[in-house]
Chain A
């Protein structure tokens, strides 16, 4: 590999036409980013003319790691892809694997999955609304919303024993049943959350400083969003009726009634209201599912060997469509797992929106897509001068790393 070693480059070649004074780095370590990701902002005064992202700072190679682990273990590993929408990752991976088997998932398990997924949606949306306040410089909203988020986390803890990584899923079922006598408590807490969501809707509608920061910010047309494959709330806030729960029901979504919230305005203010509305819908879904929870088993035990074949599954994470593809050759480990996270799908839209905004809007717009950069990170090798792509094995990567940081050690060999 020594002769075709790619040149050490700090910047991609496309940046060379801009002078250094106009470039403002946003990240990878920045107070507005909770995860490391790097955006080069090309500015004209306070106005952004170009954004160049550089992703991959926390790439851990989960898809590759999955190939050397048993099917079941992967489920809990993929759950750890994201610290916020953890359940939906294991759910979608589980559904993809279940598609390869012949077993029917018990109805009660489907309902429990729906309940947990919707609780997770409430928690994720609350977290996002709080961060939105934080990034718009509204600390009080952040503190209040995150206090209410504890309500959901307490419920999730009461049901699953964990606050964030629920570890509830199993193949063809769930691992834990709903605790006895939780219905009243859940229904009462959901009512409280609906009240709070309505209250926050009032705040984002009437609070002048908040309106000034969010109205008319982050506008994008429905055509652009569709062309750039926006998913989840980012598609719904421009009026596209895209929701996997509706378009391709999974778990118990065909039995629990719900509305798909869409908006026509297409700015950050609309996104705020849309997510709060979705939260209300989710809270009502949880109440309904808890009241109509069917009796029966929660799980079917399946053998650790999954039949050969390939299958894909998608579901509606709080941030948008999540997609898993699995391929099995009938062994104890998968041949290939591919996952596509909503942030990856929404990033092109966000970069498009950022052009023409001011630097003060960067945190607001980047937050608007509810980014999870850790989920999104990808890695590929590309030489932009010769336009050559290649793949490295683990050993080659290791040698490249040593060579990059300690060239003298390589010479000694």
Chain B
């Protein structure tokens, strides 16, 4: 019991997830800086690896200003509610072994619920701060959400359909012979693009476009709330990549090495894949310019939704035809 509680709190639970969030932030900044011909963070810690933590702590101690028009209750509590979403979702991802910390039979549905929940919380949180910029940001946020949600869920469902399981554990286990990405590369692509839209990374940083609407829905937040909102975005980054690894890249599965104990090996494989997916997103986001909200909606509805539907049809044909049936 004690062991499980420690696992949930420290490793591979909450604290590990937060640490990964900081690491992703640092990698993101470092990659972007390298690609742009800059150095990036380098003072705090070796190669500036502690810079995200330092920024987080600095913001924690800053003054918190609540706009006079804001809905105080939502404004103060919604950041905490938002913070919960990716942290909870991470518990359903198997990290150090085939069994996740809090997995159950239909936990993929719980993850889908938490994705919708996070979008909902951001929307009311954005609306509660009641300024012109956040009002526009809310509109864009909702429009972007209804755009990417369908392709995102379709991509996740494709993996579930093929693996005939609605739990992340089952989906990962079914990939022991063949990774899902080899069967459904388009679903993986759609998932990554929709994930970038969910994380508001360029080219989908429309709801937080800094040259148009200041900081978007973050505009009115300061101090503690801002630090946690930023951290939540980074943790969401980690979770989104971890889900991609679990659904399409076979989680921590990989060739066995005799000398290394299985949990360590599982963890190493998982981390390598996680960082690769993260790196893919860092590179894409640095190489692209921001598009407009109408263009994003067009992209998701007119191109990516048909693509994911075609991918589902393809997978169904494979299953019906008895070719390449998952174990």
Q: A residues engaging B (CB < 8 A)?
A: 23-25, 30-32, 46, 133-141, 143-144, 147, 207, 209-210, 212-213, 358-363
Interface contact A213-B292, CB-CB below 8 Å: yes
Interface residues on B, range: 20 to 34
Interface residues in B262-295 (C-beta closer than 8 Å to A): 286-295
Residues of B near A213 (CB, < 8 A) are 289-292
Interface contact A135-B286, CB-CB below 8 Å: no
Residues of A near B37 (CB, < 8 A) are 143-144, 147
Closest to A360 in B: B292
Residues of A near B288 (CB, < 8 A) are 138, 207, 209
27 of the cross-chain contacts (CB-CB < 8 Å) are A30-B214, A46-B293, A135-B211, A136-B290, A137-B202, A137-B289, A137-B290, A138-B290, A139-B36, A140-B32, A140-B287, A144-B37, A147-B37, A207-B288, A207-B289, A209-B288, A210-B289, A212-B292, A213-B290, A358-B292, A359-B136, A360-B206, A360-B209, A360-B212, A360-B293, A362-B212, A363-B212
B205 interface residue per 8 A CB criterion: yes
Given known contacts A144-B37, A212-B295, A362-B212, what 19 new A-B pairs fall within 8 Å (CB)? A23-B132, A25-B132, A31-B210, A31-B214, A32-B212, A46-B136, A136-B290, A137-B289, A138-B289, A139-B202, A140-B32, A143-B38, A144-B36, A209-B289, A210-B289, A212-B291, A358-B294, A360-B206, A361-B292
- Bound-state Cα–Cα, A138 to B36, Å: 11
Residues of B near A144 (CB, < 8 A) are 36-37
- Bound-state Cα–Cα, A363 to B209, Å: 11
Residues of A near B292 (CB, < 8 A) are 212-213, 358, 360-361
Interface contact A137-B205, CB-CB below 8 Å: yes
Interface contact B287-A363, CB-CB below 8 Å: no
A-B complex: 7 closest residue pairs judged by Cβ atoms: A137-B290, A138-B289, A143-B36, A209-B289, A32-B211, A360-B292, A363-B211
Residues of A near B32 (CB, < 8 A) are 139-140
Residues of A near B240 (CB, < 8 A) are none
Q: Known contacts A144-B36, A360-B212; decide if A137 and B203 are in contact (CB<8 Å).
A: yes
Interface residues in B32-51 (C-beta closer than 8 Å to A): 32, 35-38
Interface contact B36-A137, CB-CB below 8 Å: no
Residues of B near A139 (CB, < 8 A) are 32, 36, 202, 286
Interface contact A209-B35, CB-CB below 8 Å: no
Residues of A near B203 (CB, < 8 A) are 137, 209
